[in-house]
């Protein structure tokens, strides 16, 4: 029997971080006289902090400057940490939902957030200890497919003898597409038009809709080649 491994992106799925992320990046770029507009934010919002700072500077016409990128990254990380320390918004009934899911699946995190940020978000959300393994931005240097493969291998080591079937849980269509190309099952979360929702193996409006029965019904063979 296949055991699902649900690979969650913590940001936008478990915890709403977009307003804090945008404010933090705005603060970081403002120190260099740059203004983060809506179009630029839309193009960088799903990236890691360093990648977002790099691309935003480029889109806003700033010269290539690795030192400036490093400083902007540090400012953005500190501003984000300050904001989440004041409070975060978690998905409705988050803890109850995750506890129900843990009865039928293994729960893991593969996130663009840094590991310290992930730990802080999980602690504030009351979800510490529910996810194994946890991979953050530092683990994504070889790309998401490599990180997903690593999750499966680490989960297999934790639970030997089980036949694991990985599914990614994301609110980003591009991530869903990348997951399908890698052979993972895919679950798209959030408001999505029908022509986008059908690209995933399952679509749910919110995390609370991901019930154990829904997980059991996902099937044993996702689209695409095996991971």
Q: How far is CA 42 from CA 20, 31, 174, in A?
A: 14, 21, 13
Q: Is the pLDDT of residue 227 over 60?
A: no
Highest mean pLDDT among 50-64, 108-122, 207-221: 50-64
| pLDDT tens-digit readout, 105-152 | 999 999 988 899 999 999 988 899 999 999 998 898 888 889 989 998
Domain boundaries, the chain: 2-16+90-216, 18-85
Q: Which residue carries 């990348």 as its tokens?
A: 178
Contact yes or no for 138/110 (Cβ under 8 A): no
CATH architecture of the domain 2-16+90-216 equals 3-Layer(aba) Sandwich (3.40)
Note the pLDDT of residue 219.
65
- Cα–Cα distance list, 46 to 11, 43, 209 (Å): 9, 8, 23
Taking residues 71-97, report their average pLDDT. Answer: 90
């Amino acid at each position: 029997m296949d055991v699902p491994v649900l690979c969650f992106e913590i940001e936008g799925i478990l915890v709403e971080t977009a307003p804090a992320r945008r404010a933090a990046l705005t603060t970081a770029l403002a120190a260099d006289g740059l203004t983060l507009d809506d179009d630029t934010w839309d193009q960088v919002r799903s990236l890691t902090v360093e990648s977002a700072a790099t691309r935003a500077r480029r889109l806003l016409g700033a010269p290539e400057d690795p030192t400036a990128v490093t400083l902007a990254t540090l400012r953005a990380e500190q501003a984000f940490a300050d904001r989440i320390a004041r409070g975060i918004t978690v998905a409705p009934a988050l803890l109850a939902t995750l506890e129900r899911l843990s009865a039928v699946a293994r729960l893991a995190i593969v996130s663009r957030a840094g590991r310290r940020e992930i730990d802080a978000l999980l602690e504030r959300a009351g979800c510490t200890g529910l996810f194994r393994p946890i991979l953050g931005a530092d683990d994504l240097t070889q790309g998401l497919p490599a990180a997903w493969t690593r999750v499966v291998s680490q989960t297999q080591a934790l639970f030997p003898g089980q036949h694991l079937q990985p599914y990614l849980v994301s609110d980003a269509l591009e991530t869903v597409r990348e997951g399908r190309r890698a052979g993972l099952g895919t679950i798209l979360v959030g408001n999505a038009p029908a022509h986008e929702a059908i690209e995933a193996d399952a679509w749910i409006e919110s995390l609370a809709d991901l019930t154990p029965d829904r997980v059991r019904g996902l099937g044993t063979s996702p689209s695409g080649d095996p991971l």
